[in-house]
Amino acid sequence: MTWTGLLQGSDELHGKNAFGARFEREGVVVLQLRRYGKGSSARSDARGSRNREDRTLTQLVMAAADIGRDRPAVVGQGYAVNFGELKGRAQGAAIAMASEAVDDSALTVALMTSVPGLAVSGPRGLADTLAGIRIQAMMVLAEAELV
């Protein structure tokens, strides 16, 4: 896994300063945190994604929770977290962080508080978990399109 690190620069699409972090595993972006603007009113960009592959992990999780609330997002020995629970925890984390919307930061906090041992599993454990959630969410969305 590669952590590209904190990124700062100009976002040509939105014409604003962009701040964030990017985590990659084997060439696949598993989490990209982005904030646009300045101060506490900055928000994640959650618009304009038409393809599942173009959506952020948070967008995929929120959509999967709307379609398959009881479907498992993360399963491990002795625990299971479904998409509905993950969405609720992410919304709670966003409120606690005074964020205007659920973003990747709120989703990460929700995961850290609901998946035992994730915080101590290191970057590889986080990347594996995020990649697994992305796959599960895409499966929920793909199955909904087939029905």
Alpha carbon 108 to its chain's center: 7
Strands (DSSP E) found in the chain: 2-11, 16-25, 28-36, 72-76, 79-82
| pLDDT tens, residue by residue, 99-123 | 888 988 999 999 999 999 999 999 9
User: Worst-scoring range by mean pLDDT, 81-90, 98-107, 127-136?
Assistant: 98-107
Tell me what the pLDDT averaged over the chain comes to. 76
Q: Residue 9: beta bridge partners?
A: 18
For the full predicted model, state whether its pTM sits above 0.85.
no
Domain residue spans of the chain = 2-146
CB 25 within 8 A of CB 1: yes
pLDDT of residue 91: 95
Alpha helix (H) residue ranges in 73-121: 83-96, 104-114
| pLDDT tens, residue by residue, 11-47 | 444 444 444 555 555 555 555 555 444 444 344 444 3
Integer angstrom CA distances of residue 17 from 47, 54, 66, 85, 94: 17, 21, 31, 33, 21
